[in-house]
Homo-oligomer: A and B are copies of this chain.
Amino acid sequence: MPPIGRRPGSADTRAILLDTARKLFADNGYDRTSVRDIATAAGVDPALIRHYFGNKDGLFRATMGWPFDPAELAARIVDGDLEGIGERLARVFLALWDQPESRGRLEAILRGAATHEESATLARQFIQDQLYQLVAAALPGPDPELRIDLAMAQLLGIAYLRYILRVEPIASESIDNLATRVAPTITSHLIG
């Protein structure tokens, strides 16, 4: 029989790193928290964080259960003609919500942020510091962040009514129809 107890580098260590990082990111913010701070607080070598999560970004996304690379998503939304940006954002967003694997993660984030202050803080930092910066640079005109807020509000509200409340008829509408319907609104918020 192997000895019972915590093995270094085990699933336990990963969970401890996530708990520690979640707390430090929420308390001090993403910018003011280093990989070294988290390693020190968790009592492990910083190399272990790189081993599990690649870098600070990867660790941050893991703390909130975010299953995508935001830079890759942003590139899919920004690449192409500006008039098509609303349709691309709507389709990328709704496709993520329509796949059962990613829907589960997104639902957990949306529900968690609605009820736990720490989860809301992490989601807020993620949206403001990562997603917005990647998309805002591509937008012309004044106050790009408020424009993204209004566009994101439209899409988040659709996700809330469709997947959380399951209100009809929006819950049964096809993704294709919804994306077509809402694309002009999103484009108008972003570049109108």
Interface residues of A (CB under 8 A from B): 110-111, 113-115, 120, 123-124, 127-128, 143, 145-146, 149-150, 152-158, 160-161, 164-170, 173, 181-182, 184-185, 188-189
- Smallest CB separation, A63 vs chain B (Å): 16
B167–A161 CB distance below 8 A: no
Interface of A is mostly: helix
Q: Which B residues are in CB contact (< 8 Å) with A154?
A: 150, 153-154, 157, 185
A150 pairs with B181, CB closer than 8 A? yes
Residue of chain B at shortest CB distance from A125: B167
For this chain, the copies found in one complex come to 2
Shortest beta-carbon contacts, A-B, top 10: A157-B157, A153-B157, A149-B170, A114-B114, A156-B157, A153-B158, A111-B114, A154-B154, A124-B165, A146-B169
B120 touches A110 (CB 8 A): no
Shortest distance from the beta carbon of A97 to any chain B beta carbon, whole Å? 13
User: Are A160 and B161 in contact, with the CB atoms below 8 A?
Assistant: no
Residues of B within 8 A of A156 (CB): 157, 160-161
Q: A110-B114, A114-B114, A167-B127 are in contact. Are A153 and B161 (CB under 8 A)?
A: yes
A165 pairs with B115, CB closer than 8 A: no
A-B CB contact pairs (8 Å), 16 listed: A111-B114, A114-B114, A120-B166, A143-B169, A145-B169, A149-B167, A153-B160, A153-B161, A153-B170, A154-B154, A154-B185, A156-B160, A157-B157, A184-B188, A185-B188, A185-B189
Cβ contacts under 8 Å, A181 to chain B: 146, 150
